[in-house]
Structures are given as C-alpha cells and as structure tokens.
C-alpha cells in the first residue's frame, strides 16, 4: 500500500505529491513547522490526509517541546495549533484533527509531561488507522452503487494519496472492482495542478484498474457519448444541508451529470461532514497563487499583468448529489435529516 502519511521516529514522512507521477520521492518533516509547510505546499493534500498530517504535526510539536511545566506546554500547544490551522482553510478535516488533538490534550491535564507526549503521538497514529478503516467501510457501502460495468468518472484525486490508504471515491471504485465489477475509470485531469492526471491516474494504473485521462473540458462530450454510468468524487467539507465543497470543477461535473441523468456520488469520511456549517455558502474557499494558472511546468502560459482567479474549490448544491457515502452509511435527500441521523450513529473504529 502507498504510504501517504507515516509517523516515524525521525518525524512525519510523506510521499511528495508534487513530484508524482514521474518521481516517487519521500520527505520527512522533522518539526511541526515543516509539517505546516508540507500541507500548504501540497506535498500532502486531500482532506483526510491533511487531517492526519495535521494531527501528526501537533503530536510532533508537542513531542519536541522543551516546555518545563503544563502551562508552558499549553502555550506551546496553542502556537502549534495556530500555525498548522493557518495552512489551508477549506478541508474541515484539518480543524477536526486539531480539535481532536486538543480534546485529548485537555483530557490528559494533570498527567506528567512525558505521558502527555506519548499519548498525543498514540492519538495521531490511531487517527491514521481509523482513516483507513473508514475508507474500507465506505468502499463496502459504496460498491453496491457502482454499475456492474462501464465508465465511472472522477475528479481530482480522492484516492490512497488523498487519505492514509485505499481512498474515498477511489476506495468505492476499488471495492467495486474487488467485487467483480468491470469498471473503467475516466479521470478528469483537474486543472490547474492536475491531481487527476498526475495522481489518480498514477495510483489506479499501479493497481491495474483501467483508466483514461481526459481534459476537464471533455467531460460533457464523453457523457453525451454514453460512456459514463456514474460519477464519484470526494469532498473537502460537507455542510449540514448536504452541500459539498470539493476541488474546483466538481460543480461543473455535477451539473453535467444531472443533464445526462448520471448519478453523482460523493464519498467522504464523517470527519469531512461539518454539522456546524449550515450550507455551502458558509464554506471558506481557498484562493491559491495566480501562478498555478498562468504557469505550467515552469512555462508561462498567460501574458504578464493579466487578472487571474484561482479558487481551489467550488460548492456543489445538494440538489445535484444523488447520495453521500460515509463510513457510517449512505445519506440521501433530504440531507439535513439523513446527515443528522448519521451524526448520531456509532463511529467506525480501527
Ligand atoms: O487541493 P487538494 O488536492 O487538497 O484537493 C483535494 C480534493 O479536492 C479532494 O477531492 C478532496 O480533498 C477529497 S480527498 C479524499
């Protein structure tokens, strides 16, 4: 299995996703500040992987802390949480992970400092295991929704590389393939930084799952040709009403799917569902560097001085979503009620 995120004695180790698919290179972040840079610079990306990376970053910062007493360690904890919390705003898994680490930290109040450090490392490692278990459960729930054969379109990368292993959307596809379904994946290349062409195609090809990369602007024509039987994507944040924030371009795919009567599924762990955000309107959308649009492979593609917009994510209103697949089960419209029910369901443990 690909080791997207790994705790080691030296620090937090990542496969460097900026170098794929041509180079399989691993980097070890030896401080929490380096973990924050790895998240911001997309060495590690994808909402669930960002969450576990953040938890491990917090654990690393606390482990390395020179604080001599609980009050000093608390001040240090707040600083670590602030630095990691400022890396990327949209994937709610980042904030979910920091909150879970803070709750653990609070629960350990009064314990000797070495015990606190050990317990926080153990918590982050447990989150890593739980993420894989959640993906496998999502796969079990979602495989039944996949067609027995034919094309399934996905956008961005919601695979092993976006998680601690197996993947969300690609986990559903993997489980369907394991169940004997003859699926051919169509991977949108996913402009501007090509997570579909570089990452989805890389990991599916490695697994021997038939994959065709298409430019984003081809999805409509390919659907019209009858080549797509279902769409499955991941999510960075799902609001309480079922609106879904995911990689820019997802909304376009959802609208196209509706026009062609193709089911549009979203697969995400419960840590991506934000019951405190009522609709997609309130989801903060990360704006990234204009250079991601104006330059490609180091080459300038647009004239100097041109205006650029580069929102990394968009929001798909819930009316376009056929079902949301989580490890706790499948939610269908009306989403406000269905998600409330899943909120009360038992979490999947590892
Ligand atoms: O900017 P990225 O590459 O972090 O964006 C990733 C996505 O939009 C994924 O689809 C989402 O995080 C789900 S990953 C299981």
Beta strands in 206-258 (DSSP E): 211-214, 228-233, 237-239, 244-247
50 CA closest ligand 1 atom index: 4
Grouping H, G, I as helix, E, B as strand and the rest as coil, residue 77 is: helix
Q: Is 269 close to ligand 1, i.e. is its CB under 6 Å away? A: no
Contacts of residues 330-338 at CB distance under 8 Å and 24 or more positions apart, as own/partner, are: 330/141, 330/142, 330/145, 331/242, 333/242, 335/241, 335/242, 336/240, 336/241, 336/242, 338/242
Predicted confidence (pLDDT) per residue in 188-210, tens digit: 999 999 999 999 999 999 999 99
Query: What pLDDT shows up at residue 251?
Result: 98
The length of the chain is 350
313 CA closest ligand 1 atom index: 8
**Given the residues 131, 188, 236, 274, the one annotated as active site:** 236
Q: Is 266 close to ligand 1, i.e. is its CB under 6 Å away? A: no
Query: What pLDDT shows up at residue 297?
Result: 86
| Residue ranges in the chain modelled with pLDDT below 70 | none
Please state the pTM of the whole predicted model.
0.98
Q: Among this protein's residues, is 236 annotated catalytic?
A: yes
Q: Is 165 close to ligand 1, i.e. is its CB under 6 Å away? A: no
Predicted confidence (pLDDT) per residue in 140-170, tens digit: 999 999 999 999 999 999 999 999 999 999 9
Query: What pLDDT shows up at residue 96?
Result: 98
At residue 325, φ and ψ (nearest 5 deg) are: -100, 120
């Amino acid at each position: 299995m690909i080791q997207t995120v790994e705790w080691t004695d030296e620090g937090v180790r990542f496969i460097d996703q900026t170098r794929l698919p041509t180079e399989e290179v691993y980097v070890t972040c030896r401080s929490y500040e380096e973990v924050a840079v790895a998240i911001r610079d997309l060495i590690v990306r994808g909402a669930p992987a960002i969450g576990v990376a953040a938890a491990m970053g917090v654990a690393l910062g606390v482990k390395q802390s020179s604080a001599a007493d609980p009050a000093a360690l608390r001040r240090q904890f707040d600083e670590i949480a602030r630095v990691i919390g400022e890396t990327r705003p949209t994937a709610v898994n980042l904030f979910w992970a920091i909150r879970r680490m803070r709750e653990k930290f609070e629960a350990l109040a009064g314990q000797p400092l070495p015990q606190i450090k050990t317990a926080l490392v153990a918590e982050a490692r447990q989150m890593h295991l739980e993420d894989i278990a959640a993906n496998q459960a999502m796969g079990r729930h979602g495989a039944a929704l996949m067609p027995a054969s034919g094309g399934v379109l996905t956008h961005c990368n919601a695979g092993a590389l976006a998680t601690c292993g197996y993947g969300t959307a690609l986990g559903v596809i993997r489980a369907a393939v394991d169940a004997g379904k003859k699926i051919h994946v169509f991977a949108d290349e996913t402009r501007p930084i090509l997570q579909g062409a570089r990452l989805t195609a890389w990991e599916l090809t490695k697994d021997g799952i038939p994959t065709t990369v298409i430019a984003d602007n081809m999805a409509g024509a390919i659907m019209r040709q009858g080549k797509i039987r279902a769409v499955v994507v991941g999510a960075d944040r799902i609001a309480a009403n079922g609106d879904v924030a995911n990689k820019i371009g997802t909304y376009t795919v959802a609208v196209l799917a509706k026009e062609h009567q193709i089911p549009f599924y979203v697969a995400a762990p419960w840590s991506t569902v934000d019951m405190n955000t009522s609709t997609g309107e309130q989801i903060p959308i990360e704006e990234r560097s204009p250079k991601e649009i104006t330059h490609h492979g180091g080459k300038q593609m647009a004239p100097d001085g041109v205006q650029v917009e580069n929102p990394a994510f968009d929001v798909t209103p819930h009316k376009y979503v056929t079902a949301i697949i989580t490890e706790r089960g499948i939610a269908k419209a009306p989403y406000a009620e269905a998600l409330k029910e899943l909120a009360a369901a038992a979490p999947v443990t590892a």
